[in-house]
Structure 1
């Protein structure tokens, strides 16, 4: 199996890194209501000055080191190794996904296209997030493995469909031909459907086999993932994204852009995190704080993705660069400018980290560093 750690070296904020979140703009703070899973939440808000200062300090000093090891005022050990943490958990998830996709009773074309799409070398950020959030609330990593795999299967399904000619029409994914380019459109369409169904089958089957599993937690996790994949999440975001290509009144408004990315990107990141906290036994308050943290990290991912799309080549990204600009789509750099988009990313990073205050510092360390990994990634 390919070492998943190979996905990570490019995320380190080194002195040669061209993408840096260098400045935090501080507009007048506005109240931050606690979001609920059934309501879209706008997170274009400024962090409180103390948290913004923490983020600014981390951003300013990140270029001085070649690893993601930070001295943090919240008590995180400066020796925490995010790459090792992600690599170890990603290998565990990859092995579990491999097992789940082995021996499928279906035509070889379908099985091969499913494996190709789900085991194609992604960073596995969502499943690692599930595990980290489970551990954050005092759960064991093994309890989160079924929902971690399911989150990645839902994500893989969404990418297969997103790349198809009727959607974004992208022939490249993770540096390789996308599923429809490699196997044909009909196989890709059905592979996406099958991966989505397998996600929920996997949670139900594996949770029932896990020693000490709680059926009510598994049911809550299934409901959370289903909401994130369907009309309350990815599907809604994708429809709005397509509509924005021809509706100038939507494509030129930040509120419309944020709606798209809260649903298309952030909602699934949020669900992965919430599912981990739920199966880990987190209380309602803890789960809601995890939800807010993850939604901001999900938006942060998209803001950074938009910036990279206009500052990186296709070879660096492993997918077609500049497609959104060429298609006239609304992006954060297009609507805000690159500098303000980077500043907004800095605010989201500070807000995400603020949600971790009050949790055990060592348990929260992976999530703090994971947020920074998302902020400083280069592809």
Structure 2
């Protein structure tokens, strides 16, 4: 299958873009990843260290790979998500997670592309949608789909920052596309907007300070220093993507599965905090949010409540002080200390006597001295 035919088929299947690069050439992305891990910037994502050797180059995972076909689907929002940050009693969910999990849809269509490619060429293929130790963003940049901006995410001149990626590795030797050059110039909007200063420098990120990491990947209590900076972000963070000037070229997602569900676009914190495990699973069926579980999600919601300055939420917080999850109880204490410090201090003595979990005891100890 020649490159034009492959790209035409990808477009017919529903992909926004498709580009090709060599998968067996040397690149510096592996060295950058090794440095990232060596400095501990991956935080508690132990899988990054465990799979580092295979992750450093496509052929480390599949030695026979010769070419990579990188596909993308646009998930651009219909409006700027940043104004939602001012609606303090509502939760802000990252644009990509406001509907169904993108992995399933993209992998289904990528397999469709792969089947047609194999039928015509007989070559071997393997497909990936963020499900294996493969660095999709460097491959997309190498294939000319865009470049990795100063926020380390892919930026496209045609589509902006809102792109889901998938990769088909193959033993076929395909004609590669020309790579893209960096067009960030002197702009540092993505670096300057980050609430937690997660970028040590341009083209570098420290996941331990990133709100997306903290709300999604981090399983323990979120460090207190970052909680006020999180505002009402309860799952992920779009700030560095949304502020990118190249998004003026981005279109609204055509795929209906990526359009936001009404109930997930500015949901009320009071309602989210009331979810038990069964209700959480029902609300977030087929959503990527489901994978973090109810307790971590409510932890995030309670931090947003603590930042809301909405004293009407105090009863909801108090109802979670006896939650079965220590993670939830601890964040309920912190939220109460923010909304009603006097009430938290009054309750601290009895609570300290009854609480066994050290993290929750620490939260009560801090609340005792507002």
Using the size of structure 2 for normalisation, the TM-score is: 0.27
Structure possessing the higher relative contact order (Cα contacts under 8 Å, 6 or more residues apart): 1
Which structure features the higher share of helix residues?
Answer: 1
Q: Which protein is bigger by CA-based radius of gyration?
A: 2
